[in-house]
Structure 1
Amino acid sequence: MTSSPALSVRSAHIVLDGHVVAENLSLDFPGGRTTCLLGRSGVGKTSLLRHLAGLLPGSRATGPVAYMAQRDLLLPWLSVLENVLLGYRLRRDAAARRTAEPRARALLAEVGLADRLHDLPQTLSGGMRQRAALARTLCEDRQIVLMDEPFGHLDAVTRLDLQDLAARLLQNRTVVMVTHDPLEALRLGHEIRVLSGRPFAVGPVIAPPGAVPRDPGDAALLALQARLIGELRSGA
């Protein structure tokens, strides 16, 4: 795989519903690494992610990205498999879709949905739908991946399993992931940035030791978790 590009924000002005979320923001995300964004609800994490994706007025994505929103956004009239291949369908690239189908099937097997390929989304639980959405994001096979609470609706064990899967499949890609869970950020992030205030300010880089995905029971990681929770509380 070729080297994944870094992402940069320069002098950004981000406004949501008439409120200034970020002003004169400059920020760098290293290429081939996972950066996790932490912050209290409403601070602007999702707005920053959407800015990076080019989904807000005045914003522009730096290149093709895969974007996973908080909601699964599965189309109710398409099967699980067809939802995972939706990007290829929307781009009307039949040849690429055929090439991607084995990857889609393999990803659905890895997220535990191999037996639900032809089911419609309304037959799935919320956690299953989230897993299908994760498979769709990974199936796009982009060098830049933006994820907004990708594991937010999963039970604890499935959450850990899919964190491990995402860490393996997204290795060497440029990933920016929003999470409300400090331990999740510490497991998956090569770098962690804490957002606080309005307009938000971005704290210094926190770089946990060790390779991802890290052991959630590691004493050093749990100590860092306590520090992050303290930062989040003091930045309220």
Structure 2
Amino acid sequence: MNAMPGMGGAARIVSIEGIARRFPGLTVFQDLWFHVDRGEFVCLVGHSGCGKTTILNILAGLDVPDEGGVLVDGREISGPSLDRAVIFQGHALMPWLSALENVAFAVSCRNPGWDKARVRDAARAALARVGLTQAAERKPAQLSGGMKQRVGIARALAVEPKLLLMDEPFSALDALTRGTLQEEVSRLVTEAGQTAFMITHDVDEAILLADRILLMTNGPEARVAEVVQNTLPRPRARANLHHMPGYHPLRDHIMDFLITRSRTLAGKPPEGWDSRRPPVVVPAEA
């Protein structure tokens, strides 16, 4: 497998190298190249049908590309791993276990040599980080939607993964809960120095969370058309995001892509297009 041009150094933890996913009569995406650096938060944005969830599943080891390869920390992935934790759209909790037991199960899988007390202490600490100390003994049926997702976040972070993968984890929540959890995830990921990759339809969510935003053209034969550098300073809060200098040029650029260019750039790329180096734009500096 050929390395991505410019690749090298300990900073790069994920390298997507020329992957494609095809089904009979349909190429969802092809010749897809991008990377994620250590400690970086990257969001992938695009319309339904461009293959966002398929890309995340490939990164999680739940699907395989038809071409190309995926390197995580310098090694080609060959299936699921606790080095790559996933937070799904649904909470994906085991309903017969309490919140504490759901997190403890993940901790014990990561640390099979730990005794039961140490595992439970680590699980309690993880729940405390997401504000669920008082709900530790409740089962999922006794938790609200937002609390279930908090358990899922605690479980994912408790295994200390090299890469945190998020599949629109807040899309089913009400607006108030969604905003609160977005800010909590931003804080937790920053505090832990966690590398994160997230797919989303929510432009403001991407602006709030991401260091870089990958914009995909419409499918079929989708590709990453632009890499948007988010220069808005951290910490960012949903309540004042729209007051930050540079917010409106950034949002307008992404919205213009989704409304117009994602469609006009779809299919055959422009002449001279280098899929390994999609354009990097910094609209906040425009």
Tell me which residue corresponds to 1:76: 95
Which residue number in structure 2 is paired with residue 202 of structure 1? Answer: 224
Kindly state the Cα deviation for residue 74 of structure 1 after the two structures are TM-superposed: 0.6
RMSD value over aligned CA atoms? 2.5
Deviation at 1:75, TM superposition (A): 0.7
User: 1:6-21 counterparts in 2 under 5 A?
Assistant: 6-15=13-22, 19-21=26-28
- Please tell me whether the aligned partners of residues 84 and 139 of structure 1 are also in contact (alpha carbons under 8 angstroms): yes
Structure 2: how far apart are the matches of 1:5 and 1:102? Answer: 33
Using a 3 Å threshold, how does the CA distance of structure 1 residues 16 and 40 change in structure 2: closer, same or farther? Answer: same
| Structure 1 contact 4–144 (Cα < 8 Å) conserved | no
Q: Does residue 1:228 correspond to 2:254, yes or no?
A: yes
2:153 is the counterpart of 1:131: no
Helix, strand or coil at the partner of 1:203: strand
Distance 2:112 2:60 in 1: 22
Give the Cα separation in 1 of the matches to 2:71 and 2:172: 27
Q: Does 1:156 pair with 2:166?
A: no
Aligned 1:20-31 pairs, distance under 5 A: 20-31=27-38
Provide Cα deviations, 1:148-182, integer angstroms capped at 9, x if missing partner: 11222333333333223222322232211111111
Structure 1 CA distance for aligned equivalents of residues 226 and 32 of structure 2: 14
CA positional deviation for 1:39: 0.9
Distance 1:158 1:100, change over 3 A: farther
Which residue does 2:72 correspond to in 1? 62
- C-alpha separation in 2, matches of 1:229 and 1:97: 50
- Distance in structure 1 (CA, Å) of the matches to 2:228 and 2:38: 16
Q: Using the alignment, how far apart are the partners of 1:91 and 1:170 within structure 2?
A: 19
Identity fraction in percent? 34
Greater shift in the superposed pair: 135-144 or 97-106: 97-106
Unpaired runs of at least 5, structure 1: none
2:227 is paired with a residue of what secondary structure? Answer: coil
* Unpaired stretches in structure 2, ≥5 consecutive residues: 1-9, 74-82, 264-286
Provide closer, same or farther for how the CA distance between residues 7 and 177 of structure 1 changes in structure 2, counting only shifts above 3 A: same
- Structure with the larger RCO, 1 or 2 (CA within 8 Å, 6+ apart): 1
2:243 paired residue among 218, 226, 230: 218
Q: Look at both structures and tell me which one has the larger radius of gyration over its CA atoms.
A: 2
1:17 Cα deviation (Å)? 8.0
Q: How does 1:79-98 map to 2 (within 5 A)?
A: 79-90=98-109, 93=112, 95=114, 98=117
Write the letter of the residue equivalent to 1:62. V
Q: Secondary structure at the match of 2:39?
A: coil
Higher alpha-carbon deviation: 182-191 or 28-37 = 28-37
Report 1:117-196 matches (<5 A): 117-171=136-190, 172-196=193-217
- TM-score of the superposition, structure 1-length normalised? 0.86
**In structure 2, do the counterparts of structure 1 residues 212 and 49 end up closer, same or farther at CA, with 3 Å as the change threshold?**
farther
Q: Residues 128 and 103 (structure 1 numbering): CA distance in 2 closer, same or farther, change over 3 Å?
A: same
Q: Distance in 2 between matches of 1:228 and 1:56?
A: 28
Query: How far off its partner does 1:97 sit?
Result: 6.3
Counterpart in 1 of 2:7?
A: none
CA distance in structure 1 between the partners assigned to 2:25 and 2:38 by the alignment: 32
**Which amino acid in 2 is paired with 1:54?**
G
Q: CA deviation at 1:83?
A: 1.0
TM value normalised by structure 2: 0.72
